[in-house]
Amino acid sequence: MPRKTMIEAIRDAMDVSMGRDDSVVVFGEDVGYFGGVFRCTAGLQQKYGRTRCFDAPISELGIVGAAIGMAAYGLKPCVEVQFADYVYPAYDQIVSEAARLRYRSNGDFTCPIVVRMPTGGGIFGGQTHSQSPEALFTHVSGLKVVVPSNPADAKGLLIAAIEDPDPVIFLEPKRLYNGPFDGHHERPVTPWSKHPLGEVADGHYALPLGKAAVRREGAALTVLAYGTMVYVAEAAAAETGIDAEILDLRTLLPLDLDAILASVRKTGRCVVVHEATLTSGFGAELAALVQRHCFYHLEAPVVRVTGWDTPYPHAQEWDYFPGPARVGRAMIETMEG
């Protein structure tokens, strides 16, 4: 299979979807002529024309609002919000309109839109280009929330999201856009295929939303992670020598609770890792679910390793989000608990 970056895999997913279905349209800020700030849509306007892939004004509210109207009348918009940090003007449209349209209309209208957003830090983007807002969307009934960790998953999950009849928030970890990394500052020492690019099948394939994947099998403890933190967890397990099982959630909503419970019941210990802030982060939901369903299997309390409860600190970026040292300490603490 050809090897591709996550950028190339995401572009391939949109290309395949547009080629198969004339109702799929792609638009957003700088998405058409320029091909997107991260080049995820490069060449799509040239291939499919300006009515299928086009630029939008600098108005996230307008981009998502227009997409909802298009979706209600038969199109399948896949829109790009240039950075996840920019989504807040569109939040009302997503929560009050997109997520509720099916229910408010008793099924007469649906909202098959995908909102793609680069998420997370690692590029020294500062406070307004580095946020991880996934918990703001997992709280909303009617949405689906996806966070891929590798190119093959990114393509299959994005195709599935485009084909889904309901709104999907598709969060793309920008630290992984151009290849995997070793869990530290740079890339690639422990990539997914011992190569800086991931193997991605040609043509159409869709991965089911709501299914996690075991990235590393183990018996001592379970690490629940998604996106960039999958590789941080792998690095921590390698450095500590702990026989950790690493579960890549892939989809946060709907959540693969069966896979989580099977792993934690096997290992008896659980560490939750995410880049977003601690308080009310998605890790709190994961910890609550594990405690509720695995209480009598647990050998130690569930531990969360997260970003700080502060605005994103540009000068301390690599200390802000979890690295292998912090995750490793949590794993050792859990083993000693």
| SS3 of residue 244 by DSSP | strand
Catalytic site includes residue 204: no
Number of Cβ within 10 Å of residue 57's Cβ equals: 9
pLDDT of residue 325: 92
Summarize the confidence of residues 226-249 as an average pLDDT: 95
Q: Give the residue with greater pLDDT, 103 vs 125.
A: 103
Contact 60, 89 (CB under 8 A): yes
pLDDT of residue 318: 79
Domain with CATH 3.40.50.970 in the chain: 3-199
pLDDT > 70? residue 82: yes
| Each residue's pLDDT tens digit, 114-152 | 999 999 987 777 788 889 999 999 999 999 999 999 999
Helices within the chain (DSSP H only): 6-20, 44-48, 60-72, 91-92, 101-104, 134-138, 151-163, 229-240, 257-267, 282-294, 317-320, 324-336
Sequence-separated (6 or more) residues with CB below 8 Å from residue 330: 271, 273, 303, 305
Domain with CATH 3.40.50.920 in the chain: 213-336
pLDDT of residue 183: 53
| Each residue's pLDDT tens digit, 186-211 | 443 333 333 346 889 999 999 999 99
* CATH number, domain 3-199: 3.40.50.970
Catalytic position from the list 129, 139, 184, 204: 129
Of the pLDDT bands very low, low, confident and very high (cuts 50, 70, 90), residue 185 is low
Of the pLDDT bands very low, low, confident and very high (cuts 50, 70, 90), residue 76 is very high
* CATH number, domain 213-336: 3.40.50.920
Return the beta strands (E) in 131-199 as ranges: 144-146, 168-173, 198-199
Summarize the confidence of residues 280-294 as an average pLDDT: 98
DSSP letter for 98, please.
I
pLDDT of residue 1: 83
Residues shown for the chain: 337
